[in-house]
């Protein structure tokens, strides 16, 4: 369980002086790991417009929420 801690608002005093994000080095590594995977799965020439999503609610048989697309 996460302990109570003091909040740390992000103070930005200029565009060239933006403090580091509120994540540690290892969390950044995980983000990099996932980002590389995404890069691998969607190479530059992949055509995302061919991807046709399916509503999760539609799959669950909830007819009230099938209006998107």
**H or E element that contains 35:** helix 25-41
The residue among 46, 37, 43, 69 whose CA lies nearest residue 56 is 69
Site for another protein contains 52 (CB under 8 A): yes
What part of residues 20-39 is at the interface with another protein (CB under 8 A)? 20-23, 26-28, 30-32, 34-35, 37-39
SS3 68: coil
Catalog residues that contact another protein under the rule CB under 8 A.
1-2, 4, 7-23, 26-28, 30-32, 34-35, 37-39, 41-42, 48-49, 51-57, 59-62, 64-65, 68-69
């Amino acid at each position: 369980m996460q302990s109570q801690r003091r909040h740390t608002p992000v103070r930005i005093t200029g565009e060239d002086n933006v403090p580091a994000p509120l994540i540690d080095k290892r969390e950044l590594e995980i983000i990099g790991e996932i980002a590389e995977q995404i890069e691998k799965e969607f190479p530059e020439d992949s055509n995302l417009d061919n991807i046709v999503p399916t509503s999760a609610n539609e799959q669950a048989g909830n007819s009230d929420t099938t209006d998107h697309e």
